[in-house]
Structure 1
Amino acid sequence: MQYRSLGQQGLRVSALGFGCMGISIAYGPSDEKEGIEAIRRAYDLGVDFFDTAELYGNGHNEQVLGKAVQGIRDQVVIATKFGFDMTVEPVGSGFNSHPDNIRKVAENSLRYLQTDYIDVFYQHIPDPNVPIEEVAGTVGELIQQGKVKYFGLSNAGPDTIRRAHAVTPVSVLQSEYSIFERELEDRNILSLLKELEIGLVPYSPLGRGFLTGSVKPAEEYPENDMRRWDERWQGSNYTYNLNAVQQLRELAASKNITVAQLSLAWLLAQSDNIVPIPGTRSIKRLEENVGASQIVLSAEDLGRIAEILPHGSAGGRYPAGVIENFTRD
């Protein structure tokens, strides 16, 4: 496993992390035992960067991760998030980044994770009712108290990033970014991260599974699977994206790798300040993902990928009414 530095504050992690969300929510029924086994196997393969959040099962996901890293806590980097009002239904529809809630979430996370410090504490989503300076200052206090090591932002735009960084240095930004999802390029966020020396942690780096090559139309997924309402799995979008993946599969086959490995290697090739966090409950898929850290793509390979998907996939990643929350600056 290769290792990378994120930000200017000394955060160093494996080149590929592990997104724990799917263990608890979003991709069908959860299986705690299976999730713990996947996390432990990831660690055995050299992965030391694990991502969770209070939103993922209202603490359940953090508890699973906490159990999984018992005995190896000092050898791993744990990232979790705050920013939602967990008392509002449906869960995830309200925001709360007020200082008292940030502190409360931090204490809950420490308890759920069975640890006395959080490595990376992200604001999960900007809160329109709380100035980002106030959020950054509160996390800065938690850093001074030793409860948090590094400050992160998630789903934030350029102005938010710059203003937060001026108060408490931001080590990492977490946002969706992949061959399929290229919004960060359109909004000039990548250049800002380079300017401020902030690392990027792409979530859904495999297009929520579309880039694994194992997909089916939206209506064939169960009601509790987010791909059922993802526009990329619907109608003509699905047809376009399926054709693109087939072309990626042909390129991958010419290199004796999988589409997933090609996609992760593409991300790693964009900058040495990028650490994707693919998630899976499958040991086989996990081992496949980790193998991508050893793959080097040529300029010709990168050019071919740009021909196949010059602007990303067809279809938005969130329905209208939801995406505004994730693009607010």
Structure 2
Amino acid sequence: MKTQNKGLLLLMLLTLSFSCDDILEEDITNDTIQIISPNEGMTTDGNTVQFSWGGLDGADGYRIQIIKSNQVYEVDSLITTSTFKYVLNSGTYQWRVRAENFAYSTAYTFPISFHVETSDDLSNQNVALATPSVDLYTNNKNITFTWQGITSAISYKFELIKSLNGEQTILPETDVTASNYTIDPNLFNDDAKYIWKVKAVNATSETVYSQRSLFIDTVAPNQPALTSPADQGTATTTVAFNWTNGTDSGNIKSTITNTIEIASDIDFNTKIHSASTVNNTYQYVFSTLGTYYWRIKAIDAATNESDFSIVRSLVVQ
């Protein structure tokens, strides 16, 4: 009888642990999303469409899908707000949306058809920037900026601004006829935040500027300094490795990812484990007793790499 009671208690605990998230999340399965805009058959004058719907209590986010007339998905994105702005070419589209949380989701709304009709008036249109991506960190100065062309545009204005102890326009180009622009890499003469802006122009109107930022970072992170375990120290099979990265000396400071390597030989010809972490500590469980060696390398968001740290040995016993 006691054994049966213990088994029942264990089953209850397991059930509670697996269903904890379900208990915390509100069941929205049978709820309905209320569409605001665009509605069925609506025509948008201009290339920028504002999608909106009623927010739903219990939703952590919303998955919106925009489908072209050839049934290819233009957008399939999870967002946290009940509005979404997107630039589309002329044509007919469908869109739908559903609410989601960790455990549940509503049904998608019924697909709604709408039409986008761009005109010669650019004042209600926007330039959709393509590459580089938003807030890119890079050490590569050979960059081609690209954007989605607008049919009624004759040309584009391009600006590059350096943001370092204030903002300075370092490149104003007023007559770009293509939907891309490659700049002289020497203009990136400092590691800094750079803002690039594009607007479309024709004989009678122009769009507002669309803009993004990127970060030029050519400074490698510091060589990590190992703190524990001590060199030639001893440990049990579960070991917490710790180190420091020091202060970033560059103008641009980005997230550091640390790579830890553990080997059974001092030259690291036989690596038994390798992992990456944004933390300065890492725990590993050894399956075999013996002498091991470990080291750390730091890589920043611009892919600059430090030298490996010094190598320490560890006896697992």
TM-score, scaled relative to structure 1: 0.22
Higher helix residue share: 1
Higher strand residue share: 2
The answer to which structure, 1 or 2, has the higher relative contact order (CA under 8 A, 6+ apart) is: 1
* Bigger CA radius of gyration: 2
TM-score, scaled relative to structure 2: 0.22
